Structure 1
Amino acid sequence: MDRPPLPHQFLRPVPPFTVSSDEVTEGGTLAAAQAYEGGNVSPQLRWSGFPADTRSFAVTCFDPDAPTGSGWWHWVLFDLPASVTELPAGAGSGAFPGLPAGAIHARNDYGTRDFGGAAPPKGHGPHRYVFTVHALGVERLGLDADTSAAAIGGTLGFHALARATLCGVYENH
């Protein structure tokens, strides 16, 4: 089976920077806590090496392997201040511990404004979960929490100065 393209393949190319996590490793299996039925706990993320003129950040998680024809948005968070270079585990979940004031969660494809964990259909094989930090040239996107994930994704592509990705996998046996 051919794998769908990664979510940023068709966006304007920008330089990379580094994102890492204490809980997600590149190509590694997501923990049960990052699964939909395991708690929907957003992973800890930290980033560095972004352009000096970065004015804000956005964080997204996208599953290009979802059998929808358009993938599945698990997390859409934007208007993070440029001074924020790390989110603790759970910042996108529950009571949003460690989420900076002014950051906006848009609705994910579950219809909620938070991190929605991995939930590939049983027997569909491993899915990729692409966590992306977007370094942006604007302080605020000028969008609100009701803007669609696809529209936000396009806007992020337009304002991105650089992009960092970390891709974990999850399979529902």
Structure 2
Amino acid sequence: MFKPFTLVALLFVGLSSAVFAETLKLSSQDIADGEFMSKAQEFNGFGCAGGDLSPQLTWSGVPEGTKSFAITAYDPDAPTGSGWWHWQIVNIPHTVTEIAAGAGSAKNDLAPEGSVQIANDFGYRGFGGACPPEGHGVHHYRFTVHALSVEKLELPKEASGALTGYMINANTIATSTIESLYKRD
């Protein structure tokens, strides 16, 4: 039987480790939570004329058991009935904690080795920037890093955004999101 002092000590140790445990935290030099993105993150096409540049992203506080990462960029405000996938990159090695600006472009070699970019809702693999319909108001772009419990997501070559999202969520240990804004008047 535990003595009252022992129970208090065990409770304190349990609480202190929970309080001091790191939490996954996403940050960026290019985008900020609740702030409007620049023209650099706007799509180039569909009537938009931006730089179509994926933002620089850094994360810290990686939880124990993380075996890989995925990054998603999603617009829930797109008038589609299902939102809009702007970017999904999976199988990022667990040793990577930063992705360079422009890593979402298939034209360069900035994505982490071994990672896989999924076709976005514009129809090609990689990052597709913000391009809400003119006059549709403010759209919220959720850039999320997912710490995953598996080294590699086994996906078909032409996996949809929905299937990829399902597999990411089924294997997520922790997430952190920056919700940036964009609108076209």
TM-score with structure 1 setting the length:
0.88
Whether 2:127 is the aligned partner of 1:120: answer: no
Q: Which residue of 2 aligns with 1:5?
A: none
Q: Which residue of 2 aligns with 1:98?
A: 110
Residue pair 2:145, 2:177 contacting (<8 A) in 1 also: yes
Q: Can you give the 5+ residue segments of structure 2 that lack an aligned partner in the other structure?
A: 1-21, 44-48
Residues of 1 paired with 2:177 and 2:154: CA distance?
A: 24
For the residue of structure 1 that corresponds to 2:58, the secondary structure is strand
Residue pair 2:71, 2:89 contacting (<8 A) in 1 also: yes
Matching of residues 1-173 of structure 1 within 5 Å: 17-36=24-43, 37-173=49-185
Could you list the per-position Cα deviations for residues 106-135 of structure 1 after superposition, in whole angstroms to 9, with x for gaps in the alignment? 100000101000000000001000000000
Aligned residues: 159
Q: Can you give the 5+ residue segments of structure 1 that lack an aligned partner in the other structure?
A: 1-14
Change (3 A) 1:96 1:60: farther
Using the aligned pairs only, state the percent identity. 47
Q: CA deviation at 1:95?
A: 2.5
Residues of 1 paired with 2:90 and 2:99: CA distance?
A: 12
Residue pair 2:117, 2:125 contacting (<8 A) in 1 also: yes
Q: CA deviation at 1:52?
A: 2.1
Which stretch of the first structure deviates more once superposed, 139-148 or 72-81?
139-148
Residue pair 2:23, 2:63 contacting (<8 A) in 1 also: no
Residues of 2 paired with 1:73 and 1:140: CA distance?
A: 20
Residue pair 1:106, 1:144 contacting (<8 A) in 2 also: no
One-letter amino acid of the counterpart of residue 111, structure 1: G
Residues of 2 paired with 1:48 and 1:141: CA distance?
A: 22
Residues of 1 paired with 2:31 and 2:118: CA distance?
A: 22
Q: Which residue of 1 aligns with 2:6?
A: none
Q: CA deviation at 1:145?
A: 4.0
One-letter amino acid of the counterpart of residue 66, structure 1: A
TM-score with structure 2 setting the length:
0.83
> Whose radius of gyration is greater, 1 or 2?
2
